[in-house]
Amino acid sequence: MSESWIADRMHRIDASGIRKVFDLAATMERPVNLSIGQPHFATPQPIQDALCRAVREGKNAYSQTQGIPPLLRLLQQDVDQRYGHPDRRVFVTSGTSGALMLALCTLVNPDDEVIIFDPWFVMYKHLTTLAGGRVVQVSTYPDFRIRREALEAAITPRTKVILCNSPGNPTGAVASAAEMRMLAEVATEHNLALISDEIYRAFCYDEPFHSPAEWNDRTIVIDGFSKSHSMTGLRLGYIHGPDCLIQQMLKLQQFTFVCAPHPVQWAGVTAWELDLTGYQADYRRKRDLMVSLLESDFEIAGGQGAFYLFLKTPWGTGTEFVTAAIRNNLLIIPGSVFSPADTHFRLSFAADDDVLREGAQILCRLARSGKP
């Protein structure tokens, strides 16, 4: 039987709840869609032009596994300038998802534990499973803050990795400098690998961004172009960390992804030089708009960065509230996709203002109805 061929690990990986919502959206007529986890602006024209030019110029074969030299130079110069770590090396990956898979598969042995912060990005749990490890969840409810006592209580002899994400998906929470420094210190004290997923770092609205790599030179940092440059489908990420780890990840990339898409890397050279402050300012304005429209009817925590709000439902479970929203032609994501708790829902404010206003109107109407 073909069913018997399927590896046990696959039965421990669920289909993405987000994808289910996307599939549902395809069946609805003109839904008010606040479920999208990607920028709503088009890929900037200079990036499109650079990509087309690279294709026409024949840059379509494999690149070096670590990436093309012009892009590597730009990335390494930036990393050196920001951190000044003599042993920190960077290479180009097939998206940040590819970088995360390489990092976890390089670090995690069977039954090793990976600490993640609840609520978490959906991929963390399943890629840890793929690597043979187990996730240990540390709650950040109700304000989405990382607390030292909760983190240290979760550490066991099997703990191998701490995985953090700031600004966070789904919460939009931005960790403070004190939180990041604490993470860096705990990882050092317990000799744990620390992975920092920084894909949303361009979108910080209230306080400056801080990486734990500022205090821990062993931190493995994952970043990329998908969110900042609206290049989600082009799959261009990068990772940097201690050279000995990077060399092992490169070895794994050689036998999995081979390289990031070659012509997209040339587009990345152009993308690196673009000024995107206008987009970032517009998302700050959209965040402020949604908070002003929703704060009378919802408890709002997080939202200091990225383009998400993770809101507590005013009645019922998260699933019940989202089901009611979908019946009212509004697409949002139940919090149970990101957490064992079913108390919240995620909305994205990466949408046109008229869509945001319509979505907020539906949400407030549902909140006031008081019906499960």
Phi then psi for residue 275, to 5 deg, are -90, 115
Which whole number is the average pLDDT over 93-112?
Answer: 96
31-42: pLDDT as tens digits: 899 998 899 999
Between 310 and 25, the more confident residue is 310
Residues 6+ apart with CB under 8 A from 45: none
Q: Residue 131 has what pLDDT?
A: 95
Neighbours of 61 (CB within 10 A): 8
Compute the distance between CA of residue 110 and CA of residue 105 in angstroms, rounded to an integer.
10
pTM of the model as a whole: 0.94
Compute the distance between CA of residue 52 and CA of residue 59 in angstroms, rounded to an integer.
10
Q: Residue 17 has what pLDDT?
A: 57
- DSSP at 326: H
Percentage of residues of the chain with pLDDT beyond 70: 96
Neighbours of 164 (CB within 10 A): 27
Q: Residue 75 has what pLDDT?
A: 98
C-alpha separations of 129 from 118, 136, 284 in Å: 17, 12, 35
Judge contact between 197 and 165, C-beta under 8 A: yes
Cα torsion 202, 206, 208, 212: sign: negative
The mean pLDDT value of the chain amounts to 94
Q: Which domains does the chain have, with CATH numbers?
A: 2-43+276-367 (3.90.1150.10), 61-272 (3.40.640.10)
AA identity, residue 73: R
pLDDT interval class at 262 (50, 70, 90): very high
pLDDT beyond 80 at 19: no
C-alpha separations of 340 from 25, 37, 172, 336 in Å: 24, 20, 18, 6
pLDDT beyond 90 at 209: yes
Q: Residue 285 has what pLDDT?
A: 97
pLDDT interval class at 48 (50, 70, 90): very high
Residues 6+ apart with CB under 8 A from 65: 91, 250, 253, 254, 258, 259
135-182: pLDDT as tens digits: 999 999 999 999 999 999 999 999 999 999 999 999 999 999 999 999
Which whole number is the average pLDDT over 109-119?
Answer: 97
